[in-house]
Amino acid sequence: VGFSVRINSSRKSHTGEIVRKEYVCSKEGATTKELGCKAKLAVVKSKSGTYVVSVFEEDHNHPLTTPRRVHLLRSYRNVSEAKRSLTHQLAAANIPIHQQISVLELQAGGMQNIGCLGKDLYNDETKSKNKVKGHDADMLLEHFELEKEKNSAFTYTIESDNENRITHCFWADATSRRVLLLKKRECRRALKP
C-alpha cells in the first residue's frame, strides 16, 4: 500500500521460540521530516500457541509511495532464485551488472516488473563471493577430481607454498593432450633430416 516495513524488535523465550515481534514503517526513526513515523504492527504468542496482534497503528506521518514507484521500496525488492541463476550466468559471460539489469528489464517488460534494483544485484554478487571466499581452492580441487573421474586422460597439477596457498596450477583434458601429442609428432618430423 505504499510503504516499506522492517523488524523493529523481536523477543524469544528461554527455549529460543519467538514470543513477540514488532514491525514498523521503514521511515520510523528516519532523519528527515518523517522522523518517528508511528505506524507499526506487533504480534505476541498467546498461551494457546497462536500469534495475536497486540499493537496496530495504521497512520503514517508522511505521504505513501505511489503505485508506480512502489517497486523501489526495500521490502518489495527481492532477487529470486531464477534471477540469481540468470545473473550468475551473465556474470560468467563477463556481462556487467548495469547491462544485466537491461536484460532483466527487457525480459520482465519494464523496470517496475523486475522485482529488484541494480544495487540488489551488486549486494547479491558480494554475498555469493563471500560464500566461496576461502573455499575457492577446495572447489577447484573438487572440480578437477570430478573431471578425472569422468575421464582418466584428464590431468592436473597444483603447487602450493608453505602457507598452503596455490602458486601454480596446470590442467589438461583429453582433447588438449591429444592436440599436444600431435604437435610434438609434427615437430619431430620437421626436425628429422
d(CA 132, CA 88): 14
pLDDT of residue 35: 64
Residue 39 has a CB neighbour count (10 Å cut-off) of 20
| Residue 163 CA to its chain's centroid (Å) | 30
Distances (CA, A) of 49 to 44, 56, 96: 10, 20, 49
Characterize the bridge pairing of strands 51-57 and 40-45. Answer: antiparallel
Percent of the chain at pLDDT > 90 equals: 37
Task: Taking residues 20-30, report their average pLDDT.
Answer: 86
Single pTM value for the model = 0.51
Higher pLDDT, 150 or 193: 150
Segment holding 24, helix H or strand E: strand 18-25
Question: Model confidence at 20, in pLDDT bands (50, 70, 90)?
Answer: very high
Higher pLDDT, 47 or 75: 47
Collect all residues with Cβ–Cβ distance below 8 Å to 117 and sequence separation of at least 6: 72, 77, 101
Distances (CA, A) of 29 to 39, 137, 185: 11, 44, 75
CA angle (183 as vertex; 186, 152 as ends), nearest 5? 135
Q: 27-71 pLDDT, tens per residue?
A: 887 665 546 788 999 999 999 999 999 999 999 988 888 888 888
Which residues share a beta bridge with 12?
18
Q: 78-137 pLDDT, tens per residue?
A: 888 999 999 989 988 999 999 999 999 999 898 888 888 889 999 988 888 887 777 788
pLDDT of residue 34: 47
